[in-house]
Structure 1
Amino acid sequence: MSITEKLKELGIELPGFNPPAANYSPAIRTGDFIFTAGQTPKQGGKLVLTGKVGVEVSEEQTYEAVKTCALNCLTIVDYYAGGLDNVAAIVKLTVFLNTEPGFADHAKIGNGASDLFVSVFGAHGCAARSAVGVASLPGNAPCEIELVVRLKDASIPPKG
């Protein structure tokens, strides 16, 4: 089954691109790899959730917000890879959480992205992962993620 078919089966529709918030590229494609810029939980260019995890926003809300970040990354990867069917594997996932000192459930919230990627890509979506707490994130976002993705065929051009 193609990744496009899998997304339809799961009822997942990729969101549109969110414009970069500063002077950077949404991703860089080099050789067989795509490195995404960090993606916060934006829809239509606006944050859907703000605040510190466990203080102003719940862990459950942040788990869902991490999924939004993951979908934003997939939108970018879809473009730069020439389609998600050209993704061989999600290689590395980094999850940043806007937390207070002493917060300890980073891994559980990071599963928002990992669970999504595994549901879409199967075993190839199970990446090496870091989930870390930080003092703040852009716009007071509760979370941000970035990906490294390996391509099946580097000769396939980006979309567009």
Structure 2
Amino acid sequence: MVARDKVGQTTAEQRLKALGIKLPAPPEPFGTYVEAVQTGNLLFLSGMLPTEGRGAKIVGRVGAELDVEAGREAARLAALNALAVAKEYLESLDRVTRVVRLGVSVATSGDVRDQPKVADAASELLQDVFGKDKNPSRLVYGVASLPLGSPVALEVIFEVTG
């Protein structure tokens, strides 16, 4: 049974544990930038990629080297990396009061039109962790290429407390 916070809601940290999700080590920047910047009550995350260690775990374009399912796997890994960065910065995901925006770039080739299906994997993970009532607005688009040959890059904006 999942414990509830003071107003009877399951917290993000409790959901992670109940889902059996262990966050990866937060990725380090691949250039001259920081992974997270907070201004006021908004936390902006840099482009989150499906990386592990210092490299891309999944490489290719949806519709060429990868199918939609592999793109979804990449989107979920990028979302896990986003959660890891947010947790490192905030110390607890329970400080997230809302997922404001999710931007998803999907590297595709040809006439691929399944970018929303790929992006749904990231959206579903965020919903599982934060709850349906904190679903973000979302922008999804196809691009020719992304850093490190990654199939997906996420931009995430969280509303946070304190």
| Equivalence for 1:150 | 159
| Structure 1 length-normalised TM | 0.91
Distance apart, 1:18 and its partner CA = 1.4
Going from structure 1 to structure 2, the CA distance change for 1:125 and 1:12 (only over 3 Å counts) comes to farther
CA distances 1:113-145 after superposition (whole Å, capped 9, x unpaired): 000011111124411001100111011111110
Shift of 1:110: 0.4
Q: Is residue 99–residue 135 contact of structure 1 (8 Å, CA) maintained in 2?
A: yes
Are the equivalent residues in 2 in contact too, given 1:93–1:127 (CA < 8 A)? yes
The equivalent residue for 1:63 is 72
Aligned match of 2:120: 111
Moved >3 Å (runs of 4+): none
Match of 2:136 among 127, 152, 156: 127
Partners of 2:118 and 2:134 lie apart in 1 by 17
Matched-pair identity in %: 34
Find the aligned partners of 2:42 and 2:91 in 1 and give their Cα distance.
Answer: 12
Contact 1:87–1:150 (8 Å) recurs in 2:
yes
User: Structure 2 regions of 5+ residues with no counterpart?
Assistant: 1-9
State the SS of the aligned residue for 1:73. Answer: helix
Give the match for residue 104 of structure 2: 95
Question: Aligned residue for 2:24?
Answer: 15
Residues 64 and 112 in structure 1, CA contact (< 8 A), matched pair in contact too: yes
Task: Quote the Cα distance in structure 2 between the aligned partners of 1:80 and 1:97.
Answer: 26
Instruction: Tell whether the 8 Å contact from 1:40 to 1:144 is kept in structure 2 after alignment.
Output: yes
Q: CA deviation at 1:38?
A: 0.2
My pick for the range that moved more, 29-38 or 71-80, is 71-80
Aligned mates of 1:32, 1:80 — CA distance in 2 = 13
Q: How many residues align?
A: 153
**Cα offsets for 1:48-75 (capped at 9, x unmatched):** 1111111101110110110000010011
**8 Å CA contact retained: 1:34, 1:81:** no
Q: 2:90 aligns with which of 81, 94, 105?
A: 81
In angstroms, what is the RMSD of aligned CA positions? 1.1
